[in-house]
């Protein structure tokens, strides 16, 4: 008997926490913008933290284009140690692009980097704006799982209470109708 109120509280708690996660998954994250000038033969970029897919808008002020790469942090370390991009596997590798938008699929939460270099022999200014598309998938799936678990727990409790109620009514009906041990004697 004591478990039903406790289970009901746990179900309500899971439902509330699940809906909270769902709502938070819809809150837009801030945008992060960074502009830099880079000479031919040099690379400029930034390290960023990502827990889900990242939308990137890149603007250049050149007609010759830009080479743009998105790397894992481990690949960035290898590129810095080797002073080359040859032994890495970038998530994104674009060459000769000017203004573009893309969504980078982040395989696991962690640190990532983007790098840019001029496509031809010139100095280039490029601006990169990072934002996370909505909904935030990690929070969305956690919220859905918690809300579904809480809802299922509440439904099971309601079903158990109804069965108990009908069982009690059935026993009362049998006792009041006189059918029972005395009725069979």
CATH number, residue 57: 2.60.120.380
How many domains, in total, are found in the chain? 2
Q: Are 65 and 95 in contact (CB under 8 A)?
A: yes
Rounded Cα gap, residues 45 and 115, in angstroms: 4
Give the integer Cα–Cα distance in Å for 143 and 82. Answer: 43
Q: Is 65 within the bounds of a domain?
A: yes
Q: How many CB atoms lie within 10 A of CB 53?
A: 13
Do 128 and 152 belong to one domain? no
For residues 18 and 45, membership in a common domain is answered with no
76: domain range?
32-133
Note whether 128 and 148 are same-domain residues: no
Model pTM? 0.64
User: Quick one: pLDDT at residue 185?
Assistant: 47
Q: Are residues 76 and 109 in the same domain?
A: yes
Do 19 and 54 lie in one domain? The reply is no
> Is the same domain home to 126 and 147?
no
CB 14 within 8 A of CB 145: no
Handedness of CA 121, 122, 123, 129 (dihedral sign): negative
Which tens digit of pLDDT belongs to each residue from 92-146?
999 999 899 999 998 888 899 999 999 988 888 998 988 877 777 778 889 999 9
C-alpha 160: how far from its chain's center? 35
The rounded distance, in Å, linking the Cα atoms of 58 and 17 is 37
Supply the pLDDT for residue 181. Answer: 53
46, 10: one domain: no
Span 1-31, pLDDT tens digits: 566 788 888 889 999 999 998 888 888 766 6
Whether 183 is in a domain gets the answer no
């Amino acid at each position: 008997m004591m478990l039903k109120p406790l289970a009901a509280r746990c179900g309500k708690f899971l439902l509330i926490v699940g809906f909270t996660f769902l709502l938070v998954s819809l809150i837009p994250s801030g945008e992060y913008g960074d502009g830099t000038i880079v000479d031919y033969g040099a690379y400029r970029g930034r390290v960023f933290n990502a827990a889900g897919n990242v939308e990137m808008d890149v603007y250049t002020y050149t007609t010759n284009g830009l080479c743009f790469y998105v790397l894992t942090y481990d690949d960035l370390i290898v590129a810095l140690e080797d002073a080359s991009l040859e032994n890495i596997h970038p998530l994104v590798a674009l060459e000769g692009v000017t203004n573009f938008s893309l969504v980078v699929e982040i395989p696991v939460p962690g640190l990532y980097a983007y790098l840019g270099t001029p496509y031809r022999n010139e100095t280039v200014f490029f601006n990169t704006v990072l934002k996370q598309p909505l909904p935030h998938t990690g929070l969305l799936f956690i919220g859905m799982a918690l809300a579904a678990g809480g809802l299922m727990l509440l439904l099971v409790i309601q079903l158990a209470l109804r069965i108990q109620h009908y069982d009690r009514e059935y026993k009362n009906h049998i006792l009041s109708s006189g059918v029972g041990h005395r009725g069979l004697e």
